[in-house]
Structure 1
Amino acid sequence: MNVAVEHIATDQPPDDAKARDLDYGWQPGNRIELLENGEAYFPAVFEAMRQAQREILLETFILFEDKVGHELQGILIEAAQRGVKVIVSLDGFGCGELSPAFLSELAEAGVAVQMFDPAAKLVGIRTNWFRRLHRKIVVVDAAVAFIGGINFSADHLSDFGPEAKQDYAVQVSGPAVADLHHFALAQSGRQVRTRRGWRRRQQRPSLWPTHTDDGLVRLIYRDNLQHRDDIEEAYIHALSKAQKRVVIANAYFFPGYRLLREIRNAARRGVQVQLIMQGQPDVLLAKLAARMLYDYLLKDGVVIHEYCQRPLHGKVALVDDDWSTVGSSNLDPLSLSLNLEANVLIRDRAFNHQLYESLETLARNHCQTMPEKRKPRLWLWRLTVGFLVFHVMRHFPALTGWLPAHKPRLKPFESQAHDH
């Protein structure tokens, strides 16, 4: 028996172009719950899937065949067998090691499995490195949604050991779920209904709502079409509005000039600005690149912490007492210039306070703080190397455009089902 596994290229517009190019506005009256690490995330998202009656939409960058991956597989198979429509979109690089048997078991049960930009290995090396489907979104029955930075892998659980990741996601209930559902369905290449509130708009919704009621949520995303800079612009706009405090916890920190300048300017005008970076990174280059920027920020009063308990994988930030963002986007060239990403912006005092308390505990108990004045004898060397690395990294996305693997494509294939 041959089982078809779909390949999608969501850089290309689906049939419903109006549904594809969307600007989602602020939605009031939502309930937002912070989910820290796999211990909070997996039980919540798995229980929602087990209760699904009509539909499960899932996008993830990484799915491993470990205890988390197998539990997810079992839940999705059981849901599909009881008649739930299940659509799973995976990244061809992040999920490139999944076995044909694992995928076939899903497809045989009726799960629609989709792979973004798959590519065969060249002399044992994967070639589809750039422009990844990096979003992590789950929407169940168009009633509850999950979005953040947590993949479906056991390395998000503390019992994984010293390499277990520190990360965050949110569970959203309320009107904003309709936007997340509509977005996830459109990105999967399915036909979606376009209601009045979702029609393409001539002017984009404000990044900063005029009213300040709690429970406001807005979905933002970046693609390589009309929304290349939306997430970066949201950060820049929020920083420009900051009056009291800013906390940014980001795994891979190497933003562009404009964002760096807004961080520095906020500190200069007296805002308490704290950055939480990786102290024990899973990618050493990420730590080295971020440290090239330290002197530029420290001299203007930015406080920089390095989280040293385990690898930091979070992509969260807060401004003052009510603005927050949680999602999949790092602040580096890959996320800001190449990857397909999604965040939610949140205006809610209780959520902001909860996130602040979590990050403050992290900074106070598990981080080392970088000294304001670093060793003078290394200053010129750091300045020179930092200048070169910064400009290479900032032009890196444009350079990758010359690589063939940079071009996502739509190509169906069949995997041979395994024998039972």
Structure 2
Amino acid sequence: MRATIANHPWRPGNRAELLENGEAFFPRAFEAISRARREILLETFILFEDEVGTELRRRIIEAARRGVKVEMTVDGYGSHDLSEDFLSGLTAAGVEFRIFDPRRTLFGLRVNVFRRMHRKLLVVDGERAFVGGINYGCDHLETSGPASKQDYALEVEGPVVADIREFVAAAMHAGGDGGTWFHRSASPSPAPGGAPGSGEARALFLVRDNGRNSTAIEREYRAAIRAAQHEIVIANAYFFPGYGFMRELRDAARRGVRVSLITQGEPDMPFAQLAARMLYPDLVAAGVVVYEYCRRPFHGKVALIDDDWATVGSSNLDPLSLSLNLEANVFLRDHAMNQRLRRSLDALRRSDCRRIEARALPRRSPWRTLIAPLFYHAQRRFPAWAGLLPAHTPKVVRVASDAERAP
């Protein structure tokens, strides 16, 4: 049995389904919202006022009007341009709508860059939960064109949903920097309408916050990498982890584990690709096989290890996600889910990825030997340094309804 973090128990008896891209995710999430009877809790980094966001809004309003308790939180950086009309329709229907760290722009630029609420969580009636990297916008649909994103989410049922609901319900009212101290008991508090599990997956829900859980997701990754016996596949949009993570990945490859990494080849943020490419020489030299996904921007945050371990969530493996952002992942021990994710990633590697060959990498030079470590450590540390500034202490603001604002 692989080691895990104290006070974060694995829950048996869950059912999990992999949802690839908006084409699979949006219909299932919207159907769950439309069938809600008691409660909808939703957190997202990005909510766009486009066709997807408008459809989400319509279904949320319908649910609130039929008496479902609805609470939503969006990030002030990722969802900065929602109109008053868009929001007023939600609050008028009774939706409790909150914005994490809203700030005015400075010369048209968003200044709330760090400590973002990057989670994407939806819990319906305490019975079904959705966790992953997919935001509510058309750019997660392939019909939106070559800039559409490749991404993943999970739909889960079973005992782990109580963990997710307990956390989201607390986070909705925590405020501050999102450092919600999430301490699970052996038996989480049952949610209204929560049902016992009927699946075979063991599941672990972990968050990264700026309190007691600041390293939880990274530590679970690293524990699984150290225990790997046959294979590790990491597919991550923004890959720039710390030294310890890199060392353990290289050590796994050197002891004979097949280690593969899939990163962006058509990046939505070129600087992130440049940072990841700095790591390729050391990874390839250790035996890690590196691929770049080239069909469209890759936005996934998934991994599998051996035949029974997998994770899907919002956390990238970069300084923002590992040091500042508020993140959430589900980790699974389930052979069937592992194989479904493997088939999806194998298909990407076969048809839409290019392999990074050692002969194509830049040769080492005295200049690179000197500068690369300095750049690496500066890049790793900068978000944490910037996050210490008082200007980046976030807050959560509730959007008042028109009736509440009336004199």
TM-score by length of 2: 0.90
SS at match of 1:98: coil
Q: How far apart are the structure 1 equivalents of 2:365 and 2:294? A: 24
* Structure 1 residues 412 and 34: CA distance shift in structure 2, 3 A: closer
CA shift for structure 1 position 123: 2.0
* 2:256 corresponds to 1:250: no
Q: How far apart are the structure 2 equivalents of 1:226 and 1:43? A: 35
* Structure 1 residues 411 and 166: CA distance shift in structure 2, 3 A: closer
Which residue of structure 1 aligns with residue 195 of structure 2? none
Which residue of structure 2 aligns with residue 103 of structure 1? 87
* 2:22 corresponds to 1:38: yes
Of 64, 73, 83, the residue aligned with 1:89 is 73
CA shift for structure 1 position 397: 2.4
CA shift for structure 1 position 195: 7.1
Of all paired residues, the percent bearing the same amino acid is 54
TM-score by length of 1: 0.87
Pairs within 5 Å for 1:57-136:
57-136=41-120
Amino acid at match of 1:250: N
Task: Say whether the 8 Å CA contact 1:337–1:397 is kept in structure 2.
Answer: yes
Q: What is the CA deviation profile of residues 370-408 of structure 1, one whole-angstrom value per residue up to 9, with x for unaligned ones?
A: 002345646545444432221111111232134343101
Aligned length: 384
Of 186, 196, 203, the residue aligned with 1:217 is 203
* Structure 1 residues 412 and 58: CA distance shift in structure 2, 3 A: closer
Which residue of structure 1 aligns with residue 265 of structure 2? 279
Task: Say whether the 8 Å CA contact 2:98–2:396 is kept in structure 1.
Answer: no
Q: How far apart are the structure 2 equivalents of 1:369 and 1:183? A: 40
Amino acid at match of 2:379: M
Which residue of structure 1 aligns with residue 145 of structure 2? 161
Q: How far apart are the structure 1 equivalents of 2:39 and 2:392? A: 32
Task: Say whether the 8 Å CA contact 2:98–2:399 is kept in structure 1.
Answer: no
Task: Say whether the 8 Å CA contact 1:157–1:165 is kept in structure 2.
Answer: yes
* Structure 1 residues 118 and 348: CA distance shift in structure 2, 3 A: same
Which residue of structure 2 aligns with residue 356 of structure 1? 342
CA shift for structure 1 position 277: 0.4
Question: Post-superposition, which runs of at least 4 consecutive aligned residues in structure 1 deviate over 4 A?
Answer: 375-382, 410-418
CA shift for structure 1 position 197: 2.4
* 2:187 corresponds to 1:197: yes
RMSD after superposition: 2.2
Which residue of structure 2 aligns with residue 4 of structure 1? none
Which residue of structure 1 aligns with residue 179 of structure 2? none
Of 393, 404, 411, the residue aligned with 2:379 is 393
Of 295, 311, 315, the residue aligned with 1:329 is 315
Task: Say whether the 8 Å CA contact 2:281–2:361 is kept in structure 1.
Answer: no
Q: How far apart are the structure 2 equivalents of 1:195 and 1:293? A: 39
Q: What is the CA deviation profile of residues 333-387 of structure 1, one whole-angstrom value per residue up to 9, with x for unaligned ones?
A: 0000000000011000010001001001101110000002345646545444432
SS at match of 2:162: helix
Task: Say whether the 8 Å CA contact 2:97–2:398 is kept in structure 1.
Answer: no
Q: How far apart are the structure 1 equivalents of 2:287 and 2:167? A: 39
SS at match of 1:28: strand
SS at match of 1:299: helix
Task: Say whether the 8 Å CA contact 1:130–1:405 is kept in structure 2.
Answer: no
Which residue of structure 2 aligns with residue 261 of structure 1? 247
Unaligned runs of 5+ in 1: 1-21, 200-212
* 2:165 corresponds to 1:181: yes
CA shift for structure 1 position 31: 0.6
Q: How far apart are the structure 1 equivalents of 2:43 and 2:105? A: 23
Q: How far apart are the structure 2 equivalents of 1:383 and 1:307? A: 28
